[in-house]
Amino acid sequence: MKLLNYINGQLQEPVKGQWLDNIEPATGKVYSQIPASTADDLAQAVAAAGAAFPAWAATGAAERSTIMLRIADLIEQHQERLAQAESQDNGKPISLARVMDIPRAAANMRFFATAILHQSTETHYNEGHSLNYTLRQPIGVVGCISPWNLPLYLFTWKIAPALAAGNTVIAKPSEITPLTAFLFSELCIEAGLPAGVLNIVHGRGTEIGQAIIEHPKIKAISFTGGTATGKTIAATAAPMFKKLSLELGGKNPNIIFADCNWEEMLSTTVRSSFSNQGQICLCGSRIIIERSVYERFKTDFVARVKQLRIGDPSTDVNVGAVVSAGHLDKIMGYINSARQQGANILSGGTRVFLDGRCAEGYFIEPTIIDGLSADCNLNQEEIFGPVVTLIPFDTEEEAIAIANGTQYGLAATLWTQDLTRTHRIAEKLESGIVWVNCWLVRDLRTPFGGVKSSGVGREGGWEALKFFTEAKNVCVKL
């Protein structure tokens, strides 16, 4: 199967006829090919987006909304097909794709399609002198670069507000997980999205991704991915005065106090540790536990994690394959580093070899490690896999210091029944998101993003629509 670029409303092969292999993580085998796009493909996409921009920007919000809602409806109608594609392409359990990835993709389109119908403008009355009001106008051609861990979920998370605001878009999905973006392009054609409004260009990040960042006619970049890549993007785009939204890495703390609701905490912590094989930027990879319940937590948590079913992601399992052979090697490298440092591997720690069609797949046991200092590499660097570390603490101040003791600041989770402690700690945590007695509870109206090396800017809700527009003040003398 060959996937195609979506440029100027049509599916087309790469200009230079070069292709990349797409590997199924569960089997380790090539199952499709994607365009190895170059600057020639990008030139066509930018020309199409530029030509489409005036008409799309002038299209009324109600009409843009109607088209986007048709796309949302089509995602829901094709939910099972998309879920199967996401599971095959990414290695995640199909149950996760069914309940999270694909429904959220539809919700993203629907949310921003309706949000633009309820926008308001700011006004400032200078008594007896002038009236100021603010216009929010689309930027033009923008670039959206999405990651491999939640492919359609985060792809739509970016393009939906960009399109809703009246921009035309050059989008690049990860070359590791391109399938649902390709299927999405087919849905856009079926929904009647005007040609050139959205252009999906496949290929390597180092080639077509970098070309998108460098192109002078692409005026804004929204990127989700690793912190190192984010630095490269900023170094290229900032001197060109492009608008930047960078959602980057995380090393998220999960802080557990003795007074928490134990069963709710335990079941949620299993999810927040190992959902999508730990390949969610919001996973709580550092579990920080009050010492009085540390041994109890270890016993109960290990027992619960050992019940997780690992296997073919197309079947009823809890843990599927990690996304690639290279990523498997990276994760195993961290686990081996823990062993070399004398850590305790409480559970997991090995690659899993299955029988049948998944014999060559990329499977790793959910791994729990303790006995490491808070400043060691496993507690400082983003592993992005099914690996968590346990760290005890004695005082509230110590827990906060450990939680804040990395370069990252994306998300944090706090478990306690003490209301005053909740507000006290939430204020002090260096994190863009703090979940209290829950995890991954998202309201699309709220801002999303991190501090420190976890990113620049905010996505979600009105923040995303503001990013994809320029504010213009109009002053009228009275």
Mode of pairing for the β-strands spanning 469-477 and 130-138:
antiparallel
Beta strands in 127-235 (DSSP E): 130-138, 141-145, 168-172, 198-200, 220-224
Give the separation between CA 419 and CA 458, rounded to whole angstroms. 27
Burial of 229 from C-beta contacts in 10 A (0-12 / 13-18 / 19+): buried
Catalytic site residue from 260, 281, 283, 358: 281
Phi, psi (5° rounding) for residue 396?
-60, -40
Of 49, 54, 83, 20, residue with least CA distance to 200: 49
Residue 475: active-site member: no
Beta strands in 139-182 (DSSP E): 141-145, 168-172
Catalytic site residue from 24, 247, 365, 382: 247
Here the tokens at position 311 are 């296997």
Of 20, 24, 45, 23, residue with least CA distance to 34: 20
Residue 438: active-site member: no
The length of the chain is: 478
The residues, any chain, with a CB within 8 Å of residue 397's CB and separated by 6 or more, are none
Give the separation between CA 467 and CA 286, rounded to whole angstroms. 31
Lateral strand order in the sheet of 469-477 = 123-126, 130-138, 469-477
Give the separation between CA 78 and CA 100, rounded to whole angstroms. 14
Active site residues: 247, 281
